[in-house]
Every structure is written in C-alpha cells, then in structure tokens.
Amino acid sequence: MKQAPAPRLGRPINDRLCLKDYTMEYDIIEDQSRVLIRIKKLEGRHAAALGALEECLQGRCSCPTNQSAKLKSFEVVSGKDSIDVTLTAKDGQRLDRSDLDTCMRYTLDQVSRE
C-alpha cells in the first residue's frame, strides 16, 4: 500500500483501505485543535462503520493508540454516502495524525470483516 507524504496543516491525507475486493476511502483534514475525518465509499457497510464509531465514542473501541485520551469531543455525522467524524483535542493536547491514521485503518479493517 502506498504511503502518503506527511501533509501540511490544513491539507487532507487521502487514503484508501483496500481489503479483498472492497475499498473504503477516508480523508484526514487537520485544522488547529480539530480534525475532520471523512469516510467514503462505504458500499453497504454504512451501518457497520457507524456501529464501530459508536464504540469509539463510548470509549469501548480496541484501537491500538492513546488518541481517545486526548479528546475533548467526538462528533459523528452520517451522510448518504459518507460519514464525517470531527475530533476536538483537549486544551493543551494535540491529536497525532499518524495515530489517527492507525485508528482509521484498524477500525475500518474491523468493519470490513463483519
């Protein structure tokens, strides 16, 4: 899988998680203390992705990073063909883009296995 170069502030990371014949895409866009993650190409796994994000929201996910401890807020907005996740860091904290990418890959991998 191709690794994207580290983006500058405010620029999106575009990534694809390719598993078997199924491809989900997501963008990570950072803006100061907030991060927007847009998940696209859900192809029938919209409900499963929302369920996995709900576990994260409730602190029940098994993501292999410590980013949830840095969160002040975690908002999920479901659209017709995408899901937007807005993360806001606690005061004095900064969300790690690399760890967020790891979280997304882990979470979407779990969704693809359902």
Distance CA 87, CA 28 (A): 11
Confidence of residue 105 (pLDDT cuts 50, 70, 90): confident
Q: State the sign of the Cα–Cα–Cα–Cα dihedral 2, 8, 64, 23.
A: negative
Q: What is the mean pLDDT of residues 27-49?
A: 87
Spell 19-58 as b/e; 16+ CB within 10 A means b.
eeeeebbbbbbbeeeebbbbbbebeebbebbbebbeebbe
| Residue 8 predicted with pLDDT over 80 | no
Tell me the pLDDT of the chain averaged across its residues: 78
Q: What is the mean pLDDT of residues 58-68?
A: 81
Confidence of residue 58 (pLDDT cuts 50, 70, 90): confident
CA-wise closest residue to 101 among 16, 22, 11: 16
- H or E segment to which residue 98 belongs: helix 97-113
Higher pLDDT, 59 or 27: 27
CA-wise closest residue to 15 among 113, 109, 87: 109
- Identify the CATH class of 22-113: alpha beta
